[in-house]
């Protein structure tokens, strides 16, 4: 059985779904999308409040873990990636953040020409419909109004959300009306990829509509390697129910398989560090030492506070309440089930001299781990806090030449002194915010780390034992100049040294962006599609993002 299309995309995730839609929409080209996972049907994925389930289910998640992390007490951290249509957008926390303008300008400075903020903003606008205040819109000129990805704010009914925003303002950090608009810095309402009460993944926004077209098809199987003949990608070797088949690409193969699986596939195909490939008996097609390196992530901690009013999610953790929430969602698409519960946030600068935010907060009106485990046995609230631009770098390498084996994932978390300074500062700032007058009616004792954890050494011990991944891996197939020996793809997402092959997903990010990565990953698919089709990129924006005028002298607002 031979399958063939103009474009073969490996991975039906955030970027892959966007590309499948854009490459097929004019009807001129055929597209095959390869996905190892299955359907996203069912309440565990579709119900926003059930977000802790799919990332802990082997049916939907690749189930990867890191190697023991030496600076985190040799703990192995969970490293989930979606193994389902929609990819990680079907198992993530549904938080929508574009990233800061400074992130993309840094990409361009690092050799990703054409990916500055002015260049990517039109793609962010093209991809979204922004719902705010009961209507479509958001900050004039900055937000999309007719794109396939629906983005909304939560109802923020719980008074703790407003208390968090008010406390941030009282601490002197200011408020932003739209952190995905001109001004990211400050505290405000968080945005969600939720529409009509259900998760609005890349599968819902892009892939499912595209699959209704005659020129798009989905093939389920495990991609073993890219077939390369005379330095040109001609297809993908697949394992389908135990048999090996080849899907042929008349024009191009595009890898969009995650920051873990994209470099793994390149290396299995003979593209990567020559010595490492030789170790595993793989013939070298292109010696690219950058494949698998530059691995980055965000780490976070949960700072938890007791709540003296019985208004938190703690009262909803019993079976009866869960059943009621589930029934409300199932039959009415209303109630607590329609939210991820992350409805307030903050982006701040850790100190004077930092030009744009480098700390992110997610606020939750409950004290419970992101994966749904280890709830505090009391009413509480928490902020997930972590630095945005860690200097630590890791790598993804092959465990063997067998495509069925998980890659070796080493982040080298907390391997720089700056990481420790940034995290200590993040904890102390969070405590300062929770100590503001806005929380006076609600604040009880500190649950975690606990009031007795104060010194640098005590905080460091807490970080070593409790820091968790925010699940934002990226950077392992870095985009850069074609003559950069450490770059993997050029600014048009073409793999350097091989024709007819591209990579387009979070693995090509030169550096991790501020906040959650689903938005930038979808944008990458949108923009890559124009490069693949040879379209003139959308005209750059001339909008100027807000920068704190006093950033050199204070981490707050001057007037505070």
- pLDDT tier at 139 (50, 70, 90 boundaries)? confident
The total of structural domains in the chain comes to 1
Q: Which residues are catalytic?
A: 472
**Tokens describing residue 434:** 């929770």
- Candidates 148, 202, 144; CA nearest to 16 is 202
Q: Give the integer Cα–Cα distance in Å for 56 and 547.
A: 39
Q: What's phi and psi for 202, nearest 5 deg? A: -65, -25
* Full residue range of the structural domain in which residue 166 is found: 155-189+299-387+415-466
Q: Give the integer Cα–Cα distance in Å for 359 and 346.
A: 8
Q: What's phi and psi for 324, nearest 5 deg? A: -65, -45
For the chain, give me the number of helices (H) and strands (E)? 13, 24
Annotated binding site: 6-35, 84, 92-95
Average pLDDT over residues 30-54: 95
- pLDDT tier at 74 (50, 70, 90 boundaries)? very high
Average pLDDT over residues 232-241: 97
Q: Confirm whether 394 is domain-assigned.
A: no
Q: Confirm whether 171 is domain-assigned.
A: yes
Q: Confirm whether 178 is domain-assigned.
A: yes
Average pLDDT over residues 382-391: 98
pLDDT digits (tens, 9 = 90+) for 197-208: 999 999 999 999
284, with CB counted inside 10 A (0-12, 13-18, 19+), is: middle
pLDDT on residue 560: 44
pLDDT on residue 246: 97
High-pLDDT (> 90) share of the chain, %:
94
Report the CATH number that the domain containing residue 437 is assigned in CATH.
3.30.410.40
Higher pLDDT, 169 or 371: 169
pLDDT digits (tens, 9 = 90+) for 398-436: 999 999 999 999 999 999 999 999 999 999 999 999 999
- What does the H/E/C string look like for 158-222? CHHHHHHHHHHHHCCCCECCCCCCCCCCEEEECEECEECCEECCHHHHHHHHHHCCCCEEEEECE
Q: Mean of the per-residue pLDDT values for the chain?
A: 96
- pLDDT tier at 558 (50, 70, 90 boundaries)? confident
Q: 48-57, 93-102, 221-230: which has the minimum mean pLDDT?
A: 48-57
pLDDT digits (tens, 9 = 90+) for 242-274: 999 999 999 999 999 999 999 999 999 999 999
Q: Confirm whether 530 is domain-assigned.
A: no
CB 366 within 8 A of CB 393: no
Q: Confirm whether 341 is domain-assigned.
A: yes
Q: Confirm whether 357 is domain-assigned.
A: yes
Q: Confirm whether 164 is domain-assigned.
A: yes
Average pLDDT over residues 541-550: 96
Q: Confirm whether 382 is domain-assigned.
A: yes
């Amino acid at each position: 059985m031979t399958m063939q299309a103009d474009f073969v995309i490996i991975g039906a995730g955030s970027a892959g779904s966007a590309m499948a839609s854009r490459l097929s929409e004019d009807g001129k080209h055929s597209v095959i999308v390869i996905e190892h996972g299955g359907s996203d049907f069912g309440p565990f994925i579709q119900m926003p409040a059930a977000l802790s389930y799919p990332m802990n289910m082997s049916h939907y998640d690749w189930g990867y873990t890191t190697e023991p992390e030496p600076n985190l007490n040799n703990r192995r951290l969970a490293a989930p990636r979606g193994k389902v249509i929609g990819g990680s957008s079907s198992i993530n926390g549904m938080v929508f953040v574009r990233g800061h303008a400074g992130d993309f300008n840094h990409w361009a400075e690092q050799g990703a020409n054409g990916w500055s903020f002015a260049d990517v903003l039109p793609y962010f606008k093209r991809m979204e419909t922004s719902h705010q205040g009961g209507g479509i819109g958001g900050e004039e000129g900055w937000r999309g109004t007719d794109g396939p990805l629906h983005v909304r704010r939560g109802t923020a009914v719980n008074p703790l959300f407003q208390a968090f925003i008010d406390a941030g303002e009282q601490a002197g950090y200011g408020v932003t009306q739209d952190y995905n608009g001109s001004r990211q810095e400050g505290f405000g309402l968080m945005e969600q990829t939720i529409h009509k009460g259900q998760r609005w993944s890349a599968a819902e926004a892009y892939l499912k509509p595209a699959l209704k077209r005659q020129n798009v098809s989905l093939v389920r199987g495990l991609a073993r390697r890219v077939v390369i003949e005379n330095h040109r990608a001609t297809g993908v070797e697949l394992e389908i129910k135990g048999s090996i088949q080849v899907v042929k690409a008349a024009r191009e193969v595009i890898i969009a398989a995650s920051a873990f699986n994209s470099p793994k596939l390149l290396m299995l195909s003979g593209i990567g560090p020559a010595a490492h490939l030789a170790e595993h008996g793989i013939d070298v097609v292109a010696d690219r030492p950058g494949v698998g390196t530059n691995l980055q992530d965000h780490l976070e901690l949960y700072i938890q506070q007791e709540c003296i009013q019985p208004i938190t999610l703690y009262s909803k953790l019993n079976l009866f309440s869960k059943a009621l929430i589930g029934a409300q969602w199932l039959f009415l698409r209303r109630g607590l089930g329609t939210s991820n519960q992350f409805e307030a946030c903050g982006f701040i600068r850790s100190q004077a001299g930092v030009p744009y935010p480098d700390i992110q907060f997610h606020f939750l009106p409950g004290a419970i781990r992101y994966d749904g485990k280890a709830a505090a046995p009391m009413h509480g609230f928490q902020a997930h806090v972590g630095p945005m631009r860690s200097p630590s770098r890791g790598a993804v390498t092959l465990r063997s030449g067998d495509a069925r084996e998980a890659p070796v994932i080493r982040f080298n978390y907390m391997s720089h002194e700056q990481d420790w300074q940034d995290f200590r500062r993040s904890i102390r700032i969070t405590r300062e915010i929770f100590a503001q007058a806005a929380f006076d009616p609600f604040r009880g004792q500190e649950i975690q780390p606990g009031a007795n954890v104060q010194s640098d050494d005590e905080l460091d011990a807490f970080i070593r034992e409790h820091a968790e991944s925010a699940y934002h891996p990226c950077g392992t197939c870095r985009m850069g100049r074609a003559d950069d020996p450490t770059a993997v793809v050029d600014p048009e997402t073409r793999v350097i040294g091989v024709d007819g092959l591209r990579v387009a997903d979070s693995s090509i990010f030169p550096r991790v962006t501020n906040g959650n990565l689903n938005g930038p990953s979808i944008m990458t698919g949108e923009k890559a599609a124009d490069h693949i089709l040879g379209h003139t990129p959308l005209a750059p924006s001339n909008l100027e993002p807000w920068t704190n005028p006093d950033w050199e002298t204070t981490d707050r607002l001057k007037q505070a």
